[in-house]
Structure 1
Amino acid sequence: MSASQSTSSSDPASNPKVSPDDATYYTWSSFFSILTGNASTREREAYFRVKDTINAEADCKRCVRDTKWLFANSPIIRFMKHNIDLLGPSDGSASITPERVICQKCDAKQSGGFDPEYGILICANQMRNWGHTEDTIAHEMVHAYDHLRFKMDAVHNLRHAACTEIRASTLSGECRWGREFFTRGQWGVTQQMQECVRRRAALSVAARPGCRDAAHANQVVNEVWDSCFNDTRPFDEIYK
């Protein structure tokens, strides 16, 4: 059976009659189709959906292991945890611990999220390595800090959403030059970090219910840019 024939069948991830071996063959045949540039957008999405389903348990175990290691050894994670603990109630209910970092497979194209009640979500199937996990946890911990320190409403207030996204992308290290250059293929030199922060903040704001379109998202980001980009609390300066 050719790659094109195999990828035209129904998605095995959603078909209970397809065996794990069939799903694996589908994954490999789609993989080679992608390599040769013959896969459609639908086929590419189906390949990664099946791959994530097959690897979900292993991805989550790796995420949990990396999370525990980072809370014990990562300077930025330890620093953020300490400062979040200083802001939270004495009973520790707002503290971000490894137990409040939930690793799971996500269907959406996202790395993670923060909820004041439940803690931090890490999309295990999106994590490339422990460094990516560190950046993602640090990003969400900035949101946790901002929620406690500034009482932000990042769901309904677009200016609040833009500000915390600017700060999270700036302070977590996810927009540093090396990450942009080697991982995302952004090869500019001048103002590269700032452009990354702007891009990621605008994308996040654009996904909020109150945002009209991309132009509106960019306008909101520009309105709060100077004050939020230059606010490095709880750091004295941009950490990395």
Structure 2
Amino acid sequence: MEQGEIAPPSAEEKGKEEDDLGYRLCPDQNKKSQSFLVRSLFTFHNRCQLMLRMTLDMNPYAQLLEAMKQSGCTVFSDQHFSCENCDGCVSGGFDSATSQIVLCQNTCHQSHMNWVVTHELIHAFDHCHAHVDWFKNVKHLACSEV
């Protein structure tokens, strides 16, 4: 290997990355939540919640939540979304294990929030309605991304 080149990850490191399922990008996910007062005063949580509310009120794609309900999916908008601190390289994601849309409160602004919510709602709809196998069928993943 030449000087300045980065060595490829070992099999052990690669296995850890694959088992991680992206949770390293949202390290606050699934941790014990702080009190409402602490989240509101000392983080971007309150701002994220306000941007989410505005998006759900104004964005026509928020109607996907109603379509999910009509398809027999359980939807609670207050539990279906989670504002979390994330790695700077992501804005949000869909957690299929919890059927929850994670919004990165420390990296998102309103116009980007609209896009992220729309994109992740499509994944949530596909997960519920089409029973997508996210980790074993690359065609399912590709179809949802298109």
Q: Specify the TM-score bucket, using the shorter chain as the normaliser.
A: 0.5 to 0.7
1:94-150 CA-partner distances (Å, limit 9, x unpaired): 3151432111110252111112424110111221x2121011011111001111222
User: Which residue number in structure 2 is paired with residue 65 of structure 1?
Assistant: 50
Q: TM-score, normalised by structure 2?
A: 0.64
Question: Compared with structure 1, are the counterparts of its residues 96 and 157 closer, same or farther at alpha carbon in structure 2 (3 Å cutoff)?
Answer: farther
Aligned-pair distance for 1:165?
1.0
Would you say the 8 A contact 2:85–2:106 is kept in 1? yes
- Residue 106 of structure 2 aligns to which amino acid in structure 1? N
In structure 1, distance between residues paired with 2:99 and 2:140 = 20
User: Which residue number in structure 2 is paired with residue 143 of structure 1?
Assistant: 123
Q: TM-score, normalised by structure 1?
A: 0.40
1:122 aligns with 2:103: yes
Aligned-pair distance for 1:163?
1.0
2:75 to 85, 91, 95: 95
Partner SS state of residue 69, structure 1: helix
Structure 2 alignment gaps of length 5 or more: 1-40
* Greater length-normalized contact order (CA 8 Å, ≥ 6 residues apart): 2
Would you say the 8 A contact 1:96–1:119 is kept in 2? no
2:70 to 86, 103, 117: 86
User: Which residue number in structure 1 is paired with residue 19 of structure 2?
Assistant: none
Q: Map 1:13-24 to 2 at 5 A.
A: none
RMSD: 2.0
Partner SS state of residue 155, structure 1: coil
Aligned-pair distance for 1:58?
4.1
User: Which residue number in structure 2 is paired with residue 183 of structure 1?
Assistant: none
Would you say the 8 A contact 2:94–2:120 is kept in 1? yes
In structure 1, distance between residues paired with 2:118 and 2:76 = 11
Partner SS state of residue 106, structure 2: helix
Would you say the 8 A contact 1:71–1:97 is kept in 2? no
Q: Which has the larger radius of gyration?
A: 1
In structure 2, distance between residues paired with 1:88 and 1:57 = 38
Q: Map 1:1-240 to 2 at 5 A.
A: 57-77=42-62, 79-89=63-73, 94-107=74-87, 109-116=89-96, 117-127=98-108, 129-166=109-146
Name the % identity.
27
Between Structure 1 and Structure 2, how many residues are aligned?
A: 105
- Structure 1: 4+ residue segments shifted above 3 A: none
Structure 1 alignment gaps of length 5 or more: 1-55, 167-240
